[in-house]
A and B are shown apart, each in its own frame.
Chain A
Amino acid sequence: MSIEITAPMAGKIIEVKVKVGDPVQEDDELFTLEAMKMEMPIVATSGGTVKEIKVEAGQAVEGDQVLAVLD
């Protein structure tokens, strides 16, 4: 089953912490999002493997935008 990881709010991705194929566990940090002068981790909502990464560091994103897909 695929799980989409989305941005909780608009901001800028300042770090991508995983690459395609990486195994991840629930709560592992996948991205760092900067929004409203704060940096916040975006974590895996469940364990799996990174199937797809849809953004890169420095990219502006909208709220609810899909950032990655886990398998």
Chain B
Amino acid sequence: MRPYFEKMSEFGKPLGEAQIRRSEENLKQIREVEKDLAQRIQRVREAGLPAEKLNARGEWTVYQRLEYLLDPGTWCPLHTLFDPMDEESGTTGVVDGLGRISGKWAVVIGFDNKVWAGAWIAGQAENILRVTDIAKRLHVPLVWLVNCSGVKLPEQEKVYANRRGNGTPFFRHAELEKMGIPVLAGIWGTNPAGGGYQGISPTYLIAHKNANIAVGGGGIVSGMSPKGFFDLEGAEQIIEATRKYKEVPPGRVEIHHGATGFFREVYDTEEGVLDALKEHMRDMPAYNPRFFRVAEPAEPKFSPQEIERIVPFNQKASYSLEEVLARLTDNSEHMEFRPDYGPEVYTGLAKVDGYLVGLIGNRQGFLPKGYPDYAPYPGIGGKLYRQGLIKMNEFVTLCGRDRIPIIWFQDTSGIDVGDYAEKAELLGLGQSLIYSIEQTDVPMMLVVLRKGTAAAHYIMGGPNANNHNAFTLGTPTTEIYVMHGETAAVASYSRRLVKEKDAGRPLEPIIEKMNELARHYYEKSRPAYCAKMGFVDEVVSFADIRKYMVAFTGCVYQNPRSFCPHHHMMLPRIIKG
């Protein structure tokens, strides 16, 4: 199949001088958003105790551990601004992402030991479950940096119970193990109760000499005989017990290395634990990249940085999706699937780091005359019509057959509406795409370049495709909402306007409400809000999108559960004809 893949068709062209001049204002607007995001990220990194305080105790922070553990330049953080329950620290107390360790890709997560000593805090369980989902979807090891003080007791009702509470990750670890996905853990500090299970539930436990894991920590053990109230005598007993267990907490290394052997290895230093994790990652199952690569890796001919001059901050302005894709794909090459059909959507094959991927995205701007062919009105890019939906169904299905991972690029204002659209079966074809995705069982990644709107946000590989979408990225121009705020205001208040008009009452109060709703929609759809609520798993600069694509494809092809021999693939042959 070398003739198909080694050299595909080139696409894209250099930016013109006029385009560079015109995009200066665009850059300013994007920089404003990036500045705001950078400040938010800095606040997350500085949450809790200062690093110096931990270092003075002889402990590293989770960020220092990650820096030592990961291969330089490979870290792709996820969920940095995720804080869906407004935790007082502004974080979920865990730090995670994709990264390479000793040359192998892994999903990596660690407790932020600066925040409540790595406690279970609000929003954390959902974060951890997303992370275990990523490891499951990408079939790569999950590496834990455990340093967990257990439940933040004053807010136990927010973390302890529930179907997706902090106990659920322990079942997910077991699920990953059932699927043959190893969970490696480095363990530091005091890990009582929930922290104890965080320590015991992974596959292979490597402890620092001062680490302990226990069913219940000193605090619980010393308060196990309640008499219904507290008095002076009771307080004295608590003080004595606490002193004892602080000195000698349950589940120390001498117990869980010396007696039970749960800790398979113990090290005296921070470096020792992390070096052991690196050593084990070296042994993790992984194909040599050449086994699946279809060509030598190559950078795009045009810099990914230029995408910020192509995608307009103005949500109404159009641009060329192909120019974006040409800045993300190896050598700026591709093989387009059905270029003469469904013009509102791009579908095609390309290479990322030498691996084959399927790309799907919304085109913008004018569509050819007479399209959509089922209606008397013209079509426009960003919307989905009959042919585009059929084409995506075909492409997704063939990617499933050929075991090719898919990267989606959304900038969509939704699916066409009205009786013409209904007669053209768009409702059914949208759900058909969901069905097609669900049948593929190939990993997918989504970039919401700009708009993620209406059901189109679901059906185009959206985060809702829980079994397929490994993660979703936002950009500084991302907006996610059910519909544009002004559209929502009209939908909500149009009848009221008529009623007030007919009654001869002033319209201004209704108009004010409409403006307020539109503002509310805008504020609740911005990149930072999307990241906080988890609509996206991370907001990245345009220049970094390719880095995440490389991480995604590297993970997908590291140790896949199934694959199609290159010479058995049909999609490239169907494209060639």
A residues within 8 Å of B by Cβ? 8-10, 27-29, 34-41, 63
A-B contact pairs, 26 of them (CB 8 A): A8-B378, A9-B366, A9-B378, A27-B16, A35-B378, A36-B380, A37-B316, A37-B484, A38-B316, A38-B317, A38-B318, A38-B364, A38-B380, A38-B381, A38-B413, A39-B316, A39-B317, A39-B318, A40-B317, A40-B318, A40-B365, A40-B366, A40-B380, A41-B318, A41-B365, A63-B378
Q: Which residues of B contact A35 (CB under 8 A)?
A: 378, 380
Residue B232 interfacial (CB < 8 Å): no
In angstroms, Cα B484 to Cα A10, docked, is: 22
Instruction: Mark each residue of chain B from 407 to 418: 1 if its CB lies under 8 Å from any CB of chain A, else 0.
Output: 000000100000
Contacting A at CB under 8 A, from B299-339, are 314, 316-318
Assess the B316–A34 pair: CB atoms within 8 A: yes
Bound: A41/B312 CA distance, A: 12
Distance in Å: Cβ of B476 to nearest Cβ of chain A: 19
Most B-side CB within 10 Å, residue of A34, A35, A37: A37
Interface string of B387-419 (1 = CB under 8 A from A): 000000000000000000000000001000000
In the bound complex, what is the Cα–Cα distance between A41 and B381 (angstroms)? 13
Q: Which residues from A are CB-within-8-Å of B318?
A: 38-41
B382 within 8 A of A: yes
Give the residue of A9, A10, A38, A63 whose beta carbon is less than 8 angstroms from that of B382.
Answer: A38
CA distance A35 to B381 in the complex (A): 11
Residue on B nearest A8 in the bound complex, by CB: B366
Please name the residue on chain B nearest to A41 by beta carbon: B318
A26 nearest CB across to chain B (Å): 11
With a CB–CB cut-off of 8 A, which chain A residues contact B369?
Answer: 8
Contact at A39–B314, with CB atoms within 8 Å? yes
B224 lies within 8 A of chain A by Cβ: no
* Contact surface of B with A, Cβ cutoff 8 Å: 16, 18, 314, 316-318, 364-366, 369, 378, 380-382, 413, 484
Residues in A neighbouring B316, C-beta threshold 8 A: 34, 37-39
10 smallest CB-CB distances across A and B, nearest first, come from A9-B378, A39-B316, A8-B366, A36-B380, A40-B318, A40-B365, A39-B317, A38-B316, A40-B366, A38-B380
What are the residues of chain A within 8 A of B365 when measuring CB–CB? 38, 40-41
Consensus secondary structure, chain B interface: loop
From A37, A39, A63, give the contact of B413 (CB < 8 A). A37
Q: Taking the nearest CB of chain B, how far is it from the CB of A43, in angstroms?
A: 10
Report the separation of the CA atoms of residues A10 and B566 in the bound assembly, to the nearest whole angstrom: 47
- A27 — nearest CB in chain B belongs to which residue? B16
Q: Which of B16, B18, B366 has the most CB of A within 10 A?
A: B366
CB A35 to nearest CB in B, in angstroms, measures 7
Identify the closest chain B residue to A38 (Cβ): B316
Q: Which residues of B contact A38 (CB under 8 A)?
A: 316-318, 364-365, 380-382, 413
- Of chain A, the residue at the smallest CB distance from B380 is A36
A29 to B381, CA, bound (A): 18
CB distance from B534 to the nearest CB of A (A): 28
Complex Cα–Cα for A9 and B259 (A): 79
Q: How far is the CA of A10 from the CA of B316 in the complex (A)?
A: 16
A41 to B320, CA, bound (A): 11
Q: Which residue of A lies closest to B369 (CB)?
A: A8
- In the complex, A38→B382 CA distance in Å? 9
**What's the Cα separation between A63 and B317 when bound, in Å?**
19
A8-B378, A35-B380, A40-B365 provided; 14 other pairs, C-beta below 8 A? Answer: A9-B378, A10-B378, A29-B18, A38-B317, A38-B318, A38-B365, A38-B381, A38-B382, A39-B316, A39-B317, A39-B318, A40-B318, A40-B366, A63-B378
Measured between beta carbons, the chain B residues less than 8 angstroms from A39 are 314, 316-318
Complex alpha-carbon distance, A8 and B381, angstroms: 13
Q: Complex formed: what's the CA distance from A2 to B564 in Å?
A: 55
Alpha-carbon gap, A41 to B314, bound state (A): 13
Q: A10 contacts which chain B residues (CB < 8 A)?
A: 378
A53 → B minimal CB distance (Å): 19
CA distance A43 to B378 in the complex (A): 19
Question: What residues on A are CB-neighbors of B484 within 8 Å?
Answer: 37
Docked CA distance A63–B370 (Å)? 12
Contacts of A28 in B (CB 8 A): 18
Residue in chain B with minimal CB distance to A9: B378
**Chain A residues with Cβ under 8 A from B366's Cβ?**
8-9, 40
* A41 / chain B contacts, CB cutoff of 8 Å: 318, 365
Q: What chain B residues lie within 8 Å of A29 (beta carbons)?
A: 18
Shortest A38–chain B CB gap in Å is 5
Kindly report which residue of chain A lies nearest to residue B13, judged by CB atoms.
A27
Distance from A22 Cβ to chain B, minimum over Cβ atoms (Å) = 12
CB distance from A17 to the nearest CB of B (A): 10
A37 vs B18: C-alpha distance when bound (angstroms): 25
Contacts of A8 in B (CB 8 A): 366, 369, 378
Which of B365, B382, B413 has the largest count of A CB atoms less than 10 A from its CB? Answer: B365
The CA-CA distance from A27 to B318 in the complex, in Å, is 14
Measured between beta carbons, the chain A residues less than 8 angstroms from B314 are: 39
> For the complex, what is the distance from the CA of A8 to the CA of B366, rounded to whole Å?
7
Which of A27, A28, A39 has the largest number of chain B CB atoms within 10 A? A39
For the complex formed, measure the closest distance between the CB of B117 and the CB atoms of chain A, giving whole angstroms: 51
A56 to nearest B CB, angstroms? 20
Report chain B residues within 8 Å CB of A34: 316
Chain B's closest residue to A28 (CB) is B18
